[in-house]
Structure formats: structure tokens, C-alpha cells
Amino acid sequence: MDFEFSADEQRFLRDVDVFLRANHDPRVMDPSRENLSQLVDTPERRAFMKKLSERGWIGITWPKEYGGQGGRGFYEYLLNEKLSSVGAPQLGKGTGVVGKTLIKVASEKLKREFLPKILNSEIEFAIGYSEPQAGSDAAAMRLKAERRGEGWVLNGQKVFTTSAHFADWYWVGARTDPQAAKHHGISLFVLRMDAPGLTIQPMFTIGGERTNAVFFDDVFVHDDYRIGEPNKGFQYIAEALDLERFGMFTFSPVRGRTELLCDYVKQTKRDGKSLKDDPVIRQRIAQLVTECEVARLLGVRFVDAALDATKTPTVPASEYKLYATEFSRRLADATMDIVGPGSQLNADADDAPLDGRAPGCYLLTVLETIGGGTSEVQKNIIATRKHGLPRNF
């Protein structure tokens, strides 16, 4: 594959750079939040996304008949990398998981209702897969959906729904056939976050970011808001998770932290000696920089594979997600070791090394290895689907 950007791709990157400089806003752009900066969780961030819509950069890869540009996925990748490099919100669940699934399997009614609003950045979605007994194993979800009249009544609980406290709509999986096999009998629904019987309670992570527990108490959903065919929800979820695994973890924040650490080592002296002359630190930096480049190339390889595939390439998505998030964690560990006690200073401290990103990164990188499927799940996917090894369950 060709790793060089074409003239059109380079022109697009320059256009995005100009746009980001013209719309710089610290209320919108926060690199210290790492990949959680993609959340469109404030009015300022919604206004920023609206500007992206006005440029035609939302739905670049959607078919033209649904308002998109029918463009190559590589431009979406380039845009997200530029956005994440400055800590800006990115193309996320709406254009990826939700929008692309709606285009493939939803009714014309749902396409007409939701696709224009997604393209215009008018609505935000929360994703409801995880449950107390169904984290990495989404097929184990137990949220019950029972047929009643013209719709379904949902009872049960979801956990770790990151966007539930600010989203407009809930994209949720529920078990519609309890007698079916584990990976069958699940259906997908979309419902308003203010639906009667829906209760949202905060769950704060170790990194201080908010996620949520969501309780369903006789929540009614009309059958018109069921996505695709009944009892095939897990198949839709599995394909969308490949998009989520890649889209949730952009490379730019990791590269930015690697460069900050390299600059720190170049400029810092300890006990009168330059850190860059310490052979142990030099070896560790060389290893980190090499691994950083491997993570970048795995991401580019995934995008390249996706361009020519009839469906999302599952194994490359898992390979990138596994390697990039585990490297991000190793980088955070190394940063704390090399910088020392100063690495515990937050961004609001005037003399915080590395722009104060070290402590937040150290906590948030743990979440990266879990969200979108744990590292163990990714290893199982690679082992079974790429190498043909037997399943361990």
C-alpha cells in the first residue's frame, strides 16, 4: 500500500488546518481529555460541529442519495486525526455507528427522520450495549423487550453509557427472544433520552469523566423505531463495533504525547546531567517512538483495508485497537517513570511538565483498553478470525 498522501489529500489537510486556526476555542478544544474530547457535550461543542456540517465534512463517506458526498473513507480518517490533534470533538457515533447502520438496514421512515439531522449536527446519540452482566460480552445482554401492542416495553439496566446525560437519542440493544441462542434474539432500538420510565444516574470513572447507569422501567418504544430485522441486532452491533473500535481511538493524541515526552527529555537536566544522555532513557524513548510508528501504520492499514472491503474489516480493526490502546497505556507508564513526581501535576499548574497531560492520560488510558471491547476481546477476535484458533468459550 502507498503511505504517501495524494495532492487532493494534502489539500484537504491544509483546508482543515485553516479551519481549525480560524475556529480555535479553548472551550471546545481540550487535548488533556485525550480521545474523550470527541464528546459533543456542551453548547459550544455543538456549535463547532454545526460549522463542520456547513463545510460538508459530516457524512463525507455517506452515499449521495442520503445527503453525503460518496467520498473515500480516508478523508474521514484524516479529518478525525486533525480534530483530535487539537482536542476538538470528532465525527463519532452519529455519522459512524448510528448513521452507517441506519443507511444499511433501517426503514425509509427512520432514514428520513434521522439522517438529515445527523448530517446537520442537530442531534447526539448515546450507545447502550453494556450491562452489569454484559460488558465485554455484548451478546450476554439481558435488557428485556416484550412485544406489547404496536411496540415494545423495555425493562432492565444499562451501564457505562458515556453520553446519556447530554444525548438526545438512545441507540440501545435489547433481548426480544429470550429462548433464542445467545448471539440471536437481540434487537436494536432507538428512543428518546427523555422517554417516560428512563432514569439516568451518574457513574464517574477513575479519570474523573462521567459515564452513566441507565434504568428502564416499562419504557415503551414503537415498533417503527426498531432498527432492521427483529432478533438480528447483535449482527448489526458486531459490525458497528468494528467502526467504534477504530473511531474511538484516534492516533493523533498518542503521537502528541510521544512528541511532548521526547521534547521533555531533550530539554531537561537532572542532577546536572541531560536526560537525553542517559542510555536507559534513550533506549526507552527509542522503543516508544518505534511503537508509536507501528500504531500509526496499523491505523492507516485499517483505513486502506476498509476502502476496498464490502464490509468493515474486523481483524484489522481489532489489531489497531489492541495495539494502539496498549501502547498508549505503556506510553503513560513510561511518562510517569521518566518525568518523576512532576508528572502528577495537572494542567492548571503553571509549572506542570508536558502541558499537564501526564496524570489525566495515566488514568484515561486504562479506559481506552476497555471501551469498544477489552484487549482480551480483541485478542480473541484476532486468534479465532485471523489464525483459526478454537474459541475459549
Check: CB of residue 65 under 8 Å from CB of residue 74. Answer: no
Cβ-based neighbour number of residue 252 at 10 Å: 20
- Same domain? For 259 and 379 the reply is yes
1-10, 147-156, 352-361, range with the lowest pLDDT: 1-10
Is pLDDT above 60 for 278? yes
Residue with cell 483498553: 369
| Top-confidence residue, 238 or 340 | 340
pLDDT of residue 345: 87
Rounded-to-integer distance, Cα 201 and Cα 165, Å: 8
In a domain, 237, yes or no: no
| Top-confidence residue, 37 or 252 | 252
> What pLDDT digit, counting tens, does each position of 362-382 carry?
888 888 888 778 899 889 989
- Same domain? For 257 and 382 the reply is yes
- Same domain? For 141 and 85 the reply is no
In a domain, 115, yes or no: no
Q: Which range of residues forms the domain containing residue 345?
A: 251-386
The C-alpha angle with vertex 134 and arms to 181 and 169, in degrees rounded to 5, equals 100
- Same domain? For 311 and 278 the reply is yes
- Same domain? For 226 and 284 the reply is no
- DSSP H or E stretch at residue 127: strand 125-128
All residues at 6 or more sequence positions from 373 whose CB lies less than 8 Å from its CB, including other chains: 136, 241, 245, 318, 321, 381
- DSSP H or E stretch at residue 177: none
Q: Tell me which DSSP letter residue 159 carries.
A: -
pLDDT of residue 3: 64
Domain final residue pick, 231, 266, 298: 231
pLDDT of residue 316: 87
- Same domain? For 202 and 266 the reply is no
Domain final residue pick, 40, 74, 91: 91
| Top-confidence residue, 295 or 206 | 295
Check: CB of residue 207 under 8 Å from CB of residue 360. Answer: yes
Q: Exposed, middle or buried: residue 112 (CB in 10 Å: 0-12, 13-18, 19+)?
A: exposed
Q: Tell me which DSSP letter residue 313 carries.
A: -
- Count the domains in the chain: 3
Question: Smallest Cα–Cα separation from 186: which of 171, 201, 200, 176?
Answer: 176
CA 114 distance to own-chain centroid: 20
> What pLDDT digit, counting tens, does each position of 32-86 carry?
777 666 789 999 999 999 999 999 999 888 999 999 988 777 888 899 999 999 9
Q: Exposed, middle or buried: residue 280 (CB in 10 Å: 0-12, 13-18, 19+)?
A: exposed
CATH number at residue 186: 2.40.110.10
Residue type, 195: A
Rounded-to-integer distance, Cα 217 and Cα 220, Å: 9
- Same domain? For 227 and 257 the reply is no
Alpha carbon of 305 to those of 20, 92, 94: distances in Å?
A: 29, 20, 22
- Same domain? For 191 and 281 the reply is no
Rounded-to-integer distance, Cα 291 and Cα 316, Å: 17
As a whole number, mean pLDDT of residues 230-244 equals 83
- Same domain? For 292 and 382 the reply is yes
Rounded-to-integer distance, Cα 16 and Cα 19, Å: 5
Domain final residue pick, 65, 91, 117: 91
Is pLDDT above 80 for 331? yes
CATH number at residue 280: 1.20.140.10
34-43, 106-115, 150-159, 254-263, range with the lowest pLDDT: 34-43
Cβ-based neighbour number of residue 5 at 10 Å: 13
Is pLDDT above 90 for 347? no
Per-residue pLDDT band for 311 (boundaries 50, 70, 90) equals: low
**In the predicted model, what is the mean pLDDT of the chain?**
90
- Same domain? For 224 and 262 the reply is no
In a domain, 215, yes or no: yes
Residue with cell 496498549: 326
- Same domain? For 270 and 378 the reply is yes
All residues at 6 or more sequence positions from 338 whose CB lies less than 8 Å from its CB, including other chains: 261, 264, 265, 275, 281, 284
Residue with cell 468493515: 312
In a domain, 373, yes or no: yes
CA 66 distance to own-chain centroid: 23
pTM of the model: 0.87
In a domain, 263, yes or no: yes
pLDDT of residue 329: 94
- Same domain? For 31 and 87 the reply is yes
